[in-house]
């Protein structure tokens, strides 16, 4: 990195990818290097090749690239890959930083944002102030839910020593008036309450809490009454204790700019989902107007996600032996909707599959619970890869969360193949 003069950065378009891109761009600019950054939906070799004009002497690929190392080796330029998805092989020609190569869990040990942060502070200790950007990406990939390990823990510990980050206790509601929080939040999604003024009014009356009260402003008794009622509602709708614990995972506060990782994550995640990645990147790089627009955009995105969740809860999911599936009404929210439905709406004993109909293909998202992975043997990375390949598509990712693209008209065959593969993984007798 120090030897280069002009770099090209390509990263994924989700929260982790945007977080990684912001860290890498800042690192390069501060080092006096030329830098041009692009966020992509997926690895796109022709686009990457077209960017390598004369004078470009370094290519950095983040949150993707581990499954395309052979192609990257042939580009004739120095390449760094910062990824945490399972690779098919390692490389002697590409500088490939991936926890999976070390046989550790790429879904928990490090993400693209925190790998980028590790590189940035190795290049220059003055880059420690970029920690909020990295943690926004890390929280976006939900790597904090069971406690920080690996690179993530190292960055937190070092940041804490430098008074750059503080861990804050999680809550079931976002900052601000509790009535507004229940009206707009999808984490948690409470049937008959989330986005429903009458349902919210009934819940708050039962808890003896005023809608304009804030969570921090409530006394201990008020917080206990409200959180107990919310927890009871969630358990009644089939939510697991593990999901409740996930929602109460810590947030991370950054005194330098009075920001929190979760709120930064919500902003850049919305930007990525509605294909405004440049806006999310600009916001993390400190452009004030970009943050104002991102705050407007996240309200629109959250409303779309909430409506999709309510629709799915009303219609229900189709259940097979080892999977449950549904179709998303909006491509922008499909990935997050899959996780939301898995956590708050669906059967916690089955993998959750969300299909989104595009012009020429189906986009597929899949999510599992930590119990299904750790105790039952679920591996969605393998299952999605093999099921997609069986119908002429492509897929892969992590054991707990993966994606795929399949041809139109192949959805039934794909779901049957996927159910059979996952049933075998979890030692269940498939009906297919």
- State the fold for domain 316-425: Diaminopimelate Epimerase; Chain A, domain 1 (3.10.310)
| Alpha-carbon gap, residue 322 to 338, rounded angstroms | 16
Share the mean pLDDT of the chain: 94
The pLDDT of residue 136 is above 70: yes
Query: What is residue 382's predicted lDDT score, i.e. its pLDDT?
Result: 96
Each residue's pLDDT tens digit, 226-241: 999 999 999 998 888 8
Q: Which fold has domain 6-166+252-288?
A: inorganic pyrophosphatase (n-terminal core) (3.90.1640)
Residue 12 has pLDDT above 90, yes or no: yes
Lowest mean pLDDT among 85-89, 171-175, 382-386: 171-175
Q: Once rounded to an integer, what is the mean pLDDT over residues 195-202?
A: 95
233-292 pLDDT, tens per residue?
999 988 888 888 888 889 999 999 999 999 999 999 999 989 999 999 999 999 989 999
Q: Given a cut of 50, is residue 41 above it in pLDDT?
A: yes
| Predicted local distance difference test score (pLDDT) of residue 429 | 64
pLDDT level of residue 209 (50, 70, 90 thresholds): very high
Confidence bin at 432 (pLDDT 50/70/90): very low
pLDDT tens readout for residues 49-74: 999 999 999 999 999 999 899 999 99
pLDDT in tens, 105-118: 888 999 999 999 99
Torsion-angle region of 89 (φ positive above 0: left; ψ -120 to 50: alpha; else: beta) = beta
pLDDT in tens, 68-101: 999 999 999 999 999 999 887 899 999 999 998 8
What is the length of the chain? 432
Domain extents in the chain: 6-166+252-288, 178-247, 316-425
Residue 106: per-residue pLDDT:
86
CA angle, corner 116, sides to 270 and 337, nearest 5?
A: 25
* pLDDT score of 146: 86
Is the pLDDT assigned to residue 216 strictly greater than 90?
no
Query: What is the average pLDDT across 400-410?
Result: 95
Predicted local confidence at residue 430, as pLDDT: 54
């Amino acid at each position: 990195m120090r030897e280069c003069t002009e770099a090209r950065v390509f990263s994924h378009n989700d929260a982790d990818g945007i977080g990684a891109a912001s860290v890498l761009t800042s690192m390069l600019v501060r080092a006096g290097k030329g830098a041009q950054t692009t966020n992509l939906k997926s690895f796109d070799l022709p686009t990457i090749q077209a960017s390598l004009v004369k004078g470009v002497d370094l290519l950095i690929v983040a949150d993707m690239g581990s499954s395309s190392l052979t192609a990257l080796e042939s580009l004739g330029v120095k390449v760094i890959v910062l990824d945490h998805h399972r690779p098919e092989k390692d490389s002697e020609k590409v500088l490939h930083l991936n926890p999976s190569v070390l046989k550790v869990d790429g879904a928990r040990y490090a993400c693209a944002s925190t790998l980028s942060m590790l590189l940035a502070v190795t290049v220059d200790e003055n880059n420690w102030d970029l920690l909020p950007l990295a943690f926004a990406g890390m929280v976006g990939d939900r790597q904090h839910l069971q406690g920080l390990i690996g690179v993530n823990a190292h960055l937190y510990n070092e940041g804490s020593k430098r008074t750059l980050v503080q861990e804050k206790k999680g809550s079931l509601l976002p900052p601000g008036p509790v009535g507004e929080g229940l009206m707009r939040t999808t984490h948690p999604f409470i049937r008959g309450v989330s986005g429903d003024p009458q349902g919210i009014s009934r819940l708050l009356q039962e808890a003896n809490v005023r809608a304009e009260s804030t969570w921090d402003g409530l006394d201990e008794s008020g917080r206990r009454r409200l959180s107990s009622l919310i927890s009871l509602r969630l358990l009644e709708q089939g939510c697991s204790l593990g999901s409740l614990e996930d929602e109460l995972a810590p947030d991370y506060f950054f005194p330098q700019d009075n920001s929190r990782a979760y709120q930064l994550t919500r902003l850049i995640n919305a930007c990525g989902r509605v294909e405004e990645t440049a806006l999310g990147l600009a916001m993390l790089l400190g452009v004030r107007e970009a943050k104002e627009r991102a705050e407007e955009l996240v309200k629109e995105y959250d409303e779309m996600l909430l409506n999709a969740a309510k629709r799915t809860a009303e219609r229900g999911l189709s259940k097979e032996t080892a999977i449950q599936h549904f179709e998303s009404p909006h491509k922008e929210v499909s990935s997050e909707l899959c996780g939301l439905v898995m956590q708050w709406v669906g059967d916690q004993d089955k993998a959750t599959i969300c299909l989104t109909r595009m012009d020429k293909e189906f986009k597929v998202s899949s999510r599992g619970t930590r119990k299904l992975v750790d105790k039952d043997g679920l591996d969605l990375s393998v299952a999605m890869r093999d099921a997609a390949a069986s119908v002429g598509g492509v897929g892969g990712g992590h054991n707990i969360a993966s994606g795929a693209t399949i041809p139109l008209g192949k959805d039934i065959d794909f779901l049957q193949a996927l159910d059979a593969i996952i049933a075998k993984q979890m030692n269940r007798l498939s009906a297919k």
